[in-house]
Amino acid sequence: MILRAFTIVFILLAGISIQGQSPIIPERGISYDIIDRLDILYGSSIFTSNGNFRRHEAYQLASDLFYNEQKLKPLDRWDLQYLIDDNNEFFTKSLQDASSFSLKYIDSTRLFYSGTQTEGTSSGIQPSERKPFLKHFYKTQANFFEVETGDFILKVNP
């Protein structure tokens, strides 16, 4: 009886502490080289000497450079768009619908709150979309097949 109660409590508590982690960008990938180059040109809050870049850090770097509205070269804008498209799971629907108000950081954790000003909106940062092939394939340029629900995101690439 005690073992059964302990097992039930353990299962309930174990479910609370489980957290998903962002996958690491492959070391010899295009995104890896883009992050290195952008860090050299503009600086960033990512520790590039570590060598392991997480996907949410890559997306945050791209969105920071877009929001700071630095004078970006056309190639840099293309690279930032590539990072955003490749890591579009971090682009939430609430940010997509936020074009009528500004988004500002609350603190260093990069949580957003909405303001009342119209400048600095998220209209410049959008994952690329295109007309899907056979209604299901290549809805976004970065992924062959993509399913996004409230509970999970599945991406398939050949």
**How far apart are the C-alpha atoms of 62 and 13, rounded to whole Å?**
36
Are the C-beta atoms of residues 95 and 112 closer than 8 Å to each other? yes
DSSP label of 116: S
**Pairing between β-strand 103-105 and β-strand 112-114 as defined by DSSP bridges:** antiparallel
Contacts of 64 (CB under 8 A, 6+ apart): 44, 45
Q: Which amino acid is at 152?
A: F
Contact 66, 102 (CB under 8 A): no
pLDDT in tens, the chain (158 residues): 788 887 887 777 766 544 444 577 767 777 788 888 887 777 766 666 666 777 777 777 777 777 666 677 778 777 887 777 777 666 654 444 444 444 454 445 444 444 433 333 344 555 555 565 556 566 665 566 666 666 766 666 66
**pLDDT attached to residue 121:** 38
Q: How far is CA 123 from CA 58, 118, 146, in A?
A: 19, 11, 23
What is residue 154's predicted lDDT score, i.e. its pLDDT? 66
pLDDT given for residue 147 in this prediction? 66
Q: What is the pLDDT of residue 125?
A: 57
Look at residue 42 in the predicted model and tell me its pLDDT. Answer: 76
Residue 80 is predicted with a pLDDT of 80
Closest CA relative to residue 154, chosen from 127, 23, 146: 146
Look at the pTM and tell me if it is higher than 0.75.
Answer: no
